[in-house]
A and B are shown apart, each in its own frame.
Chain A
Amino acid sequence: MAIARLAFGFLAIAVLSGLALAPLLSAGRPLESLETLRGGIPWGWWLRAVHAWAGWGLLALTAVHLGDVVLRRAERKLGAGIWWRSVVLLPVAVLALLGGFLLRGDAEAAAAAAVWREIAGSIPLAGPFLADLLLGALPGDLGAVALHHAGTFTLLLWLLTAEHGGRLWPDARATVLAGLSSVTLAGFLPPGLGASPAVPSPHLLLGPWYLLGLQGALVSLPAAAGWLLPLLLVVALGLVRHADGRARAALVAFCGAWLLADAAFTVRVLLLAHAR
């Protein structure tokens, strides 16, 4: 429960720091505005770092909380609908954070946007439409990404978290703790910013840390694996609530194997980057 409350606190800090950042950033010139933020605005780099760490804290604690609930066999304390929506929190959090990564506008972000467009485009029937809806119709235009990052996904995250926790606002103690953690980590480990996408990179560009496993998997698997593999995990986690005995054990084992494979693919892509 403490983990869940802290996750909600991180969401609140991410939203508050995002509101402070919004007037300083431009979706039309993302890299330039971030460079100005880092170098030309007092404490701008720190504000961005707080926002990033709050988002990472939210994602990490959401995943830990979900795993904790499954391992404690506590999923049936929630109704089926709320459980499924709680499981969906995880991919929504990933999508929200991925939007933030794309809004860097640097070479890593441009590469991630190209890959994400291919993945979304490979979804049968609705793929190309979804790719345009999530990433904008014009490659390089980050207006749609900014809208979903600050609006759609953040709103969804708040609604789903509020429903899951049974309260509209996070409690004050968790928010203060999340804020202090973000502020401290931001001071010590601010997130970096890559080169302009116009500069050719002969090196492997790494995606966001939470998607490195998928990046490693896509070295060998087709684009459809980019949505199919996460979907399998979400469905397996959702079905855990409906299964008993051996079926539940099989689903939990599948989720464990998924995480192990993700870790292995993460190592693979890191080795590949190191080798080049």
Chain B
Amino acid sequence: MTRRDFVADAWRAAGGALAALGVLALVRALRGAVPPKREVVLSDDLLRRLREAGGAADGELWVSGTPERPEAFRLVCTHMRCRVSPLPEGGFSCPCHGSRYDAAGRPVAGPAPRPLERLPVARSGGRWVVTL
């Protein structure tokens, strides 16, 4: 090996090591940015809409049941995680691949493999709290 080859190899190795370090740093940075679980307090307005319509949405959260005993699930399709939409006639539809769910969140048509994810609802400080 000539001195020129050695320097070239060393230069490549240093570049590779630097790139690997960069990727590692990037992975760590991205991992740290994953949001933690959050809690959502069911507002009076949401509970009023629940009483009037039998169900109400707040972002990706859907609340059904009654204001005295609410149930919640995530409006995210279990097929490819698209946001599902409540249907006027009851149930939900996914705009990505056509999955349909009944009012209880069970898949009734399309490729969705599982029911919509049920979210824990707990009483805290006199309010209903959903953990998303």
Contact = CB atoms under 8 A, between A and B. Distances in A.
Interface of A: 107, 110-111, 114-115, 117-119, 129, 132-133, 137-138, 197, 200-205, 215, 218-220, 223, 272, 276
A107 B81 contact: no
B126 to A, nearest CB: 29
Contacts of B111: 218-220
Interface string B22-61: 0000110011011100000000000000000000010000
A218 B110 contact: no
Interface of B: 26-27, 30-31, 33-35, 57, 80-83, 85-88, 93, 95-98, 110-111
Contact of A115 (B30, B80, B93): B80
Given A197-B83, A218-B111, 14 more contacts: A111-B83, A111-B95, A118-B80, A119-B80, A133-B30, A137-B30, A138-B33, A138-B35, A200-B57, A201-B85, A204-B96, A218-B96, A219-B97, A219-B111
B96 A215 contact: yes
B81 A200 contact: no
Contacts, number: 65
A135 to B, nearest CB: 10
Contact of A203 (B27, B34, B86, B95): B95
Contacts of A203: 95
Contacts of B80: 114-115, 118-119, 218, 223
